[in-house]
């Protein structure tokens, strides 16, 4: 299916033309038919001579209903601009073309209607002059009469040529369906309609509703008035939704593939139209079917920051427009450059940002985004509309720019070396401290910074291999302990003796890590290998034996014997019976 929008001044025959092409009535409301003008969006479809199906979004032409018109053209790839032969170019013809130009719509047709009432050539030439310099310059022109049918066959052929030249949609893309109508049907519930420009919808799909981010389920799906199980872009679709009431969904909402879009209230954009400095500071942004008040902050001549009244699901490269409802004009189109811009807090930040934006073209580029940001979640980069760069370093769902990693690694290496000098008894810098020094958002990213200079063990970062040597004063004290244990291997020094030797908790922990002492329990330290020596000495006892017998065999105190036997049991050297006796395994 292909979808086209009509555009043009009120009462220039758009709806009559659609009826002549399709045999269907696009005006849905009795009020519209009574007044002879389209108030809201109308829809109709037909099959072209080549077998293609084309659907038309018939938008209102009256100035009062321009927001409705903008909601209709926001998601369509091409348009038919309608000008009446007997009236020629009119004010709303211009505003509709301004809107199409701002949105970058470059494919379309000029259709001169009411050719039976007046020679259409004058109106055709006048319209082509107005289209010169716009995105619709040099579009084909067809003169028709909806009343007599003159030129309708030629128009059908022109539409066939137009849709055949449209780029193929991406049916595998993430879904973003802008809602242009929402209503209820008795017995079915909430129904929404819209134009699906990319992706595929299926009955049973779960979608996110924006704003609000609630989840809804597609209970039923229609396209061209018929129930379908699947609809692929481009298509006009109606969705019967489960999980949402009518008061929670309206025109301007969007249905999204879950987790695939970023909703943002701040975007940096490039302007096409009035210079940024001449724009009203408060204006309305039209994106898709949404119309949201925004505050404009000029940055460069053609770049600005927009702060939205409510969040919209936008991507890099999206086209939208700014409309001044008070002046009834569209001063600028916008191309989204950044949906996650940095804050402009410091002095000179706006000028620096304008310089950066001048290098951006609105084409999603994952490598460029990663260079600018240094670190970025993979899911967020994809949701921006960019591809993940090949071979980008990645950990814990984060992507990193190689140059940024190199700079952070140098910073961390210097900090770890300083930490080792300042804290000689510590087994390296804690990973969380390393994360803070490196300025990374997740401690697991520290692994990407290790390289050949740093190593990570037991949650600590070391410069080179983990430190094994002890400071001289600590080494001397440990030597004294080892000498005293040589005479009585299981007579662990008590707390007073350890303090006397200058061995506090940090010094003892360092000695254990260096393999110079064996920690049996808090406050109980023996020489390395004392556990194996104890097992050998206990072999002289008949099994099972009591704790007192073990204490005597080891020539030690109960303070040492109890935790030592517990250590031997944990290591599987001994087994403790329910009656409190022990035996060697």
Same domain, 129 and 58: yes
Give me the residue label for tokens 């989204």: 336
| pLDDT attached to residue 27 | 46
Contact indicator for 188, 197 with CB cutoff of 8 Å: no
The answer to whether 547 and 537 are in contact (CB under 8 A) is no
Instruction: Report residue 109 as tokens.
Output: 């047709």
pLDDT for the residue 235: 86
Cα 70 to Cα 63: distance, rounded to the nearest angstrom: 11
If you count them, how many residues does the chain have? Answer: 585
Which residue range forms the structural domain that includes residue 538? 529-585
In this structure, of 83-92, 368-377, 552-561, the range with the lowest mean pLDDT score is 83-92
Q: How confident is the model at residue 313 (pLDDT cuts 50, 70, 90)?
A: very high
The residue among 363, 397, 418 that closes a domain is 363
* Predicted pLDDT of residue 29: 39
Instruction: Look at residues 14, 39, 17 and name the one whose alpha carbon lies nearest to residue 28.
Output: 39
Quick one: 181 and 248 in the same domain? yes
**Hey, what are 208's tokens?**
């996110």
137 and 272 belong to one structural domain:
no
> Tokens 């954009």 sit at which residue?
269
Q: How many CA atoms lie within 13 A of 230 on its CB side?
A: 5
Same domain, 112 and 14: yes
Q: Mean pLDDT of all residues in the chain? A: 85
Most confident of 131-135, 144-148, 435-439: 131-135
The CA-based angle 479-481-482, given to 5 degrees, is: 65
Q: Which of 363, 391, 420 is the last residue of a domain?
A: 363
* Mean pLDDT to the nearest integer, 484-505: 89
Spatial separation of the C-alpha atoms in residues 331 and 423, rounded to whole Å: 63
Question: Which one has a higher pLDDT value, 220 or 468?
Answer: 220
Q: How confident is the model at residue 178 (pLDDT cuts 50, 70, 90)?
A: very high
Residues 7 and 146 reside in one and the same domain? yes
- Spatial neighbors of 328 by CB under 8 A, at least 6 apart, are 63, 66, 95
Instruction: Name the strand (E) or helix (H) holding 246.
Output: none
Tokens of 237: 């679709």
Task: Provide the pairing of β-strand 460-463 with 524-526.
Answer: unpaired
Judge whether 80 lies within some domain.
Answer: yes
CA-based R_g, the chain, Å: 38
Q: Are residues 268 and 334 in contact, defined by beta-carbon separation less than 8 angstroms?
A: no
pLDDT of amino acid 73: 53
Q: What is the pLDDT of residue 469?
A: 66
- The residue with greater pLDDT, 39 or 288, is 288
Contact between 220 and 201 under an 8 Å Cβ cutoff? The reply is: no
Q: Is the dihedral angle over the CA atoms 220, 223, 228, 229 positive or is it negative? A: negative
Query: For the ranges 22-26, 83-87, 237-241, 292-296, which has the lowest average pLDDT?
Result: 22-26
Classify strands 206-210 and 214-223 as parallel, antiparallel or unpaired.
Answer: antiparallel
| Domain CATH code at residue 573 | 1.10.10.10
16 versus 496: which is more confidently predicted?
496
The reply to whether 247 and 202 lie within a common domain is: yes
Q: Are residues 218 and 310 in the same domain?
A: no
Tell me which of 209-223, 276-290, 446-460, 464-478 is least confident. Answer: 464-478
pTM score, whole prediction: 0.74
Domain boundary among 135, 164, 193: 164
Report the pLDDT value the prediction gives residue 35, as an integer from 0 to 100. 33
Q: Measure the CA–CA gap between 367 and 378, rounded to whole angstroms.
A: 12
Q: What does the pLDDT average to over 356-360?
A: 94
What CATH number is attached to the domain comprising 309?
2.40.30.10
pLDDT beyond 90 at 459: no
Cα separation, 534 vs 558, in Å, equals 14
Q: Residue 46 — φ and ψ, nearest 5°?
A: -160, 170
The top-scoring range by mean pLDDT among 2-16, 348-362, 417-431, 477-491 is 348-362
Q: How high is the pLDDT of residue 42? A: 66
Token pair 């707390």 is at which residue? 495
Highest mean pLDDT of the ranges 181-190, 239-248, 353-362, 411-420: 353-362
**235 and 209 part of one domain:** yes
Mean pLDDT value of segment 142-149: 88
Task: Tally the domains of the chain.
Answer: 4
Q: Which of 110, 77, 109 is nearest to 196 (CA)?
A: 77
Q: Please check whether residue 292 is in contact with residue 308, taking contact to mean a CB–CB distance below 8 angstroms.
A: yes
Mean pLDDT in residue range 355-370: 93
Task: Please write the tens of the pLDDT for every residue from 377-425.
Answer: 999 999 999 999 988 888 888 998 988 888 888 888 888 888 877 877 7
Q: DSSP string of 389-429?
A: PTT--EETTEEE-HHHHHHHHHHHHHHHHHHHHH-TTSSSE
């Amino acid at each position: 299916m292909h979808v086209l929008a009509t555009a043009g001044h009120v009462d220039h025959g758009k709806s009559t033309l659609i009826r002549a092409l399709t045999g269907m009535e696009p005006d849905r409301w009795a009020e519209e038919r009574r007044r002879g003008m389209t108030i809201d969006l109308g829809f109709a479809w037909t099959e072209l001579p080549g077998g293609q199906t084309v659907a038309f979004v018939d938008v209102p032409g009256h100035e009062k209903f321009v927001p409705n018109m903008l909601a209709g053209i926001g998601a369509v790839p091409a348009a038919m601009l309608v000008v009446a032969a007997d009236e020629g170019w009119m004010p709303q013809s211009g505003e509709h073309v301004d809107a199409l130009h701002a949105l970058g719509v470059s494919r379309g047709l000029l259709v001169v209607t009411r050719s039976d009432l007046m020679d259409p050539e004058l109106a055709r030439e006048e319209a082509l002059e107005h289209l010169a310099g716009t995105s619709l310059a040099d579009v084909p022109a067809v003169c028709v009469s909806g009343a007599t049918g003159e030129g309708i066959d030629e128009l059908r052929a022109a539409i066939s040529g137009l849709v055949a030249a449209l780029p193929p949609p991406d049916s595998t893309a993430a879904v973003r369906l802008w809602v242009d109508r929402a209503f209820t049907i008795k017995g079915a519930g909430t129904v929404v309609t819209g134009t699906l420009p990319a992706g595929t919808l299926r009955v049973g799909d779960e979608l996110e509703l924006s704003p609000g981010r609630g989840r809804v389920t597609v209970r039923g799906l229609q396209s061209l008035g018929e129930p379908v199980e699947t609809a692929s872009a481009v298509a006009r679709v109606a969705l019967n939704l489960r999980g949402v009431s009518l008061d929670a969904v309206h025109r301007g909402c969007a249905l999204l593939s879950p987790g695939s879009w970023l909703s943002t209230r701040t975007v940096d954009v490039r302007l096409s139209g009035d210079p940024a400095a001449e724009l009203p500071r408060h204006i309305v942004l039209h994106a898709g079917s949404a119309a949201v008040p925004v505050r404009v902050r000029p940055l460069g001549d053609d770049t600005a920051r927009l702060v939205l009244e409510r969040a919209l699901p936008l991507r890099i490269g999206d086209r939208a427009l700014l409309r001044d409802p008070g002046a009834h004009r569209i001063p600028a189109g916008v191309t989204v450059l950044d949906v996650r811009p940095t804050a402009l807090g410091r002095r000179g930040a706006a000028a620096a940002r304008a310089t950066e934006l001048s290098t951006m073209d609105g084409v999603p580029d994952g490598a460029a985004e990663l260079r600018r940001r240094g670190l970025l979640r993979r899911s967020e980069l994809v949701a921006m509309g960019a591809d993940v760069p090949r071979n980008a370093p990645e950990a814990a769902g984060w992507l990193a720019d190689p140059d940024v990693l190199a700079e952070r690694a140098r910073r961390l290496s210097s900090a770890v070396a300083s930490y080792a000098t300042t804290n000689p008894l510590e087994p390296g810098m804690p990973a969380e401290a390393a994360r803070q020094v490196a300025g990374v958002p997740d401690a697991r990213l520290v692994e990407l910074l290790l390289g050949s200079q740093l190593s990570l063990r037991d949650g600590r970062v070391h410069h080179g291999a983990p430190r094994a040597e002890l400071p001289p004063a600590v080494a001397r004290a440990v030597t004294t302990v080892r000498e005293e244990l040589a005479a009585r291997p299981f007579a662990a020094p008590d707390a007073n003796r350890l303090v006397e030797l200058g061995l506090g908790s940090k010094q003892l922990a360092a000695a254990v890590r260096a393999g110079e002492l064996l920690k049996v329990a808090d406050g109980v330290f023996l020489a390395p290998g004392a556990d194996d020596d104890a097992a050998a000495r206990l072999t002289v006892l008949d099994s099972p034996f009591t704790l007192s017998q073990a204490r005597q065999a080891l020539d030690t105190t109960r303070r040492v014997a109890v935790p030592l036997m517990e250590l031997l049991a944990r290591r599987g050297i001994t087994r403790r019976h329910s009656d409190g006796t022990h035996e060697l395994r």
